[in-house]
Amino acid sequence: MKGDQEFEEAIQSFSEEIKNMSRQTRNLIRKIFPEVVEVVWKKQKNIGFGTGPKKKTEHFCWLMPATKHVTLGFNYGAQLPDPSNILEGTGKLFRHYKVKNEVDLSNQDLINLIKFAIDFRGKKI
């Protein structure tokens, strides 16, 4: 599958631990929203997820591996409900969550944020 190959190319320079966390984060998004549209930017090592391919109007989150964690960023994250304050960042729109281990991906607050972000982009799940 082309998307899988591009995804693997984007994360290939990272440690096995970070690659596995990246795959698990991607799998969580796909589990919540199976019809997700994925756009891979190999050079930037960044993967966008949306209800369509348009970054500014249809994407709801993005994944970017780092040395010690995987950043799961939320487009328009500043407008998402975050009662547990799990999101980081101070910008006008974007917020992010650092996935540091597998347990982080079972955080119900994170799962709720992903669902709300998808709904925010106009797709009821």
Write down the domain spans for the chain: 2-120
Measured CA to CA, the distance from residue 83 to residue 48 in angstroms comes to 25
Residue 16, judged by CB atoms within 10 A of its CB (0-12, 13-18, 19+), counts as exposed
pLDDT one-digit tens code per residue, 77-96: 999 999 999 999 998 999 99
CATH code that applies to domain 2-120: 3.90.1150
pLDDT one-digit tens code per residue, 25-79: 999 999 999 999 999 999 999 999 998 888 888 899 999 999 999 999 999 999 9
> What is the pTM assigned to this prediction?
0.93
